[in-house]
Structure 1
């Protein structure tokens, strides 16, 4: 099985769908008559992307909006606070029928066709990831040393053993004329002493110290009880503080009385399966409404043939492997059915190392459910599911990350994620790339100044050519060829696809 491609060369000076520049866009492209999943995997790892059967690569240092290939490390993905809100919103809708009053209007999306890219649609929400559970702070009151003197206050002990302040009585007596005979400490009358039936008088300072000591002991006992209770709770519920995964939200069992039922079906789109053919019209009608309402297309633009060429046709050959996913490799539509009708469709490619998102369209009536974000989270969970059978498949590719276009930065919220260096084709964590992108639209992410493209073409003569139904190396084709030399075009093609792909794929020459 061979990939057969026809190189179309460089195209510059056309309209950009991201910044609306009329002549700022530039890319190289080729038409793929057929392509193996391994060749396409290697191509997207060199910055290529498909739209239907057209495969293109932006000219990164010339185009107005550089498009960096982005991938999410799905096995380590943890949903952010905003992601959890979307998952909970869907769960409330399914169980209780509740919908948000505000529609998710203005979701950013890669809606541009063929030469400009048609990547994934997601909702842009601020990532306010925070711990939802605050740590338990046990406060212990400290007994401070008794430094201050108690002035102007007399504490007495009553017959019942209670203490009371005499300040109020003293203050009341100050309003009356002073009796000189009662000022000061009068000596006891002869023959009478302390009443032994009553407790002896004590200093206010001593009583205050005793009260604080008792309060301190009570607090210590109470805090000790709280600590014991916390320890018992942790032992009995060890997973309470564990962060929930996307699977905990997505694959929860709905109650029998749930308001709605959601079913996600995976159908092969190329070659079209019987299930795909049976649902084609319904799926197309959802796409048509989506383009008209969300993208303001005129009714005659989203035709069935345009839909087929854009989102159904694929150059990828269907493949199966003993160590691969049960569904096989290739191009698929992931259909979201609610109560027996299609409400959204995610177009994806399943490749040897990743699930690659192509596009998402949905019924505008369900905009409030943030289906762009929800479907992306479902596809990350789907990638993790496939990984259990196909151990090499562990990444979720989200298309292009465009930092120069603010509404397209939402893909950076799905972390941990990496961006592809446009010069050396190595993956770099996005956190290391963002500071450079703030200063320049085009950046080389590889910090090693001596690093080069290891996959660059080294032997042009080994490039495979398909000419008159015959496969031959370029060195042979070059000797047989009549007319002007095409070496510059072949050199450009081989440099862009890399040595390995240029030796495996067949470059068609008429």
Structure 2
């Protein structure tokens, strides 16, 4: 199997959907007539990305909004607090029917670069579908730490109908005095001799831990009474043996995503996957995942109605998220975030049988675009250095990107691209229905004047892919 590509070259000076600059965008692209999953995996690790059959790479040092390839380590994945809230919201909606459609969290518009001159085909569906929109998350804990209350003088509810200069009666005076005494006077702040107020969640956590310790102590004492005659262990030793080290641990991603799949739930959410049209050749090797490698649709069915469709590529070293369509009537469920967490959980399941699948590719991270920085909340994540093609933890990248939109992310100034082009003659060419190396193509096509174009292509895809993929020339 070979990848057959047609290089389209560089195009610059067209509209950018991220900053709205009319002539700021620049990228190179190629049309993939067919492509192996291994070649696409290696291309992703060099900053390429596909949109349908079109594969493109931003010209990082020329484009107005540099797009850095981002991936997440699924083995060390830590679920963010905001993502947990989305999962719990979905669970409440499915199990109890809680959540009104009228309360919709805003979802920003989001479109990946779809390549040079490529117009996406219109979507035909019974519902209005849209491209994936990232969730703007509003934390429930973003409340003021202190508030000020300003009291205003208030008149009696019955009104004051006395004539001017008329004195109030003794009963009215007593009532007024009592009312004034009931108004709290400005305080001097917290009493330094008393302990500070504690948050309700800390008190709940303490009560829960106390109950857990009491339960474990009861278990330990019961075991003491059963085994005291047969052993010489002290009650303290037995109590330590029966403590559950996982008793107070947070729920795993698998537990959180499976909570919403109860058969007794009010709403039923189902998933189905099937191959979809793509330049990637489907492969099913014996040591690969059960589904095989290739491009798949993930359908989300709610009570028999399809509400979202995600497109993913299962590759030798990870799962790449392509895009998500969703029914806007269910935007209140934050389907963009929910589908991303589900895809991470799915990648984790694949890794159990295929150890090489260790990453979840999220497309591009644009530090200069607030709508695209949300991808950095999935931890731990790495960005691809645009010059050396090494992966760098995102925490080390942010200070550099704060100073400049485009940055060489690798810390070693002497590091180079290890897969850079070294031998142009080994680049594979498809000419007149025949596959041949570039030096043979030059001999056959004596008037060929495309060396600069072929060299530009090979530099971008790297020596490995240039020797494996076949570049179409007419």
User: TM-score band, normalised by the shorter chain?
Assistant: 0.7 to 0.9
1:457 is matched with which residue? 421
The 3 A distance-change label for structure 1 pair 422 and 407 is: same
Deviation at 1:345, TM superposition (A): 0.6
Deviation at 1:121, TM superposition (A): 4.3
Structure 1 stretches (4+) deviating beyond 6 angstroms? 116-119, 126-130, 225-228
- Is 1:499 the counterpart of 2:456 in the alignment? no
Contact 2:311 2:321 in 1 (8 A): yes
Contact 2:312 2:322 in 1 (8 A): yes
- Following the alignment from structure 2 to structure 1, what is the Cα–Cα distance between the partners of residues 64 and 110? 18
The 3 A distance-change label for structure 1 pair 255 and 39 is: closer
Deviation at 1:249, TM superposition (A): 1.2
1:79 is matched with which residue? 79
- Is 1:47 the counterpart of 2:47 in the alignment? yes
2:245 is matched with which residue? 238
Contact 1:423 1:444 in 2 (8 A): yes
SS of aligned partner of 2:38? helix
The 3 A distance-change label for structure 1 pair 111 and 42 is: closer
2:111 is matched with which residue? 110
The 3 A distance-change label for structure 1 pair 128 and 70 is: farther
1:315 to 257, 264, 279: 279
Two-structure CA RMSD over aligned residues (Å): 2.4
2:134 is matched with which residue? 122
Report how many aligned residue pairs link the two structures.
373
The 3 A distance-change label for structure 1 pair 116 and 227 is: same
- Is 1:9 the counterpart of 2:23 in the alignment? no
SS of aligned partner of 1:357? strand
- Is 1:440 the counterpart of 2:447 in the alignment? no
- Is 1:407 the counterpart of 2:408 in the alignment? no
- Is 1:468 the counterpart of 2:469 in the alignment? no
- Following the alignment from structure 1 to structure 2, what is the Cα–Cα distance between the partners of residues 442 and 116? 24
The 3 A distance-change label for structure 1 pair 230 and 365 is: same
1:262 is matched with which residue? 269
Deviation at 1:115, TM superposition (A): 3.5
- Is 1:424 the counterpart of 2:424 in the alignment? no
SS of aligned partner of 2:355? coil
- Following the alignment from structure 2 to structure 1, what is the Cα–Cα distance between the partners of residues 461 and 270? 39
* CA deviations over 1:139-162 (Å, ceiling 9, x no partner): xxxxxxxxxxxxxxxxxxxxxxxx
2:197 is matched with which residue? none
Deviation at 1:111, TM superposition (A): 5.0
Deviation at 1:15, TM superposition (A): 0.3
- Is 1:341 the counterpart of 2:316 in the alignment? no
TM-score (norm 2): 0.75
Residues 288-367 of structure 1 mapped to structure 2, 5 A cutoff: 314-367=278-331
1:178 is matched with which residue? none
1:394 to 358, 371, 378: 358
- Following the alignment from structure 2 to structure 1, what is the Cα–Cα distance between the partners of residues 136 and 73? 19
Deviation at 1:103, TM superposition (A): 0.6
Deviation at 1:252, TM superposition (A): 2.5
1:371 is matched with which residue? 335
SS of aligned partner of 2:75? helix
The 3 A distance-change label for structure 1 pair 265 and 228 is: closer
Answer with 1 or 2: which has the greater Rg. 1
- Following the alignment from structure 2 to structure 1, what is the Cα–Cα distance between the partners of residues 260 and 410? 45
The 3 A distance-change label for structure 1 pair 127 and 397 is: farther
Contact 2:105 2:136 in 1 (8 A): no
The 3 A distance-change label for structure 1 pair 253 and 95 is: closer
Deviation at 1:2, TM superposition (A): 0.2
In structure 1, stretches of 5+ residues that fail to align are 131-224, 271-313
Contact 1:318 1:329 in 2 (8 A): yes
The 3 A distance-change label for structure 1 pair 236 and 90 is: same
TM-score (norm 1): 0.70
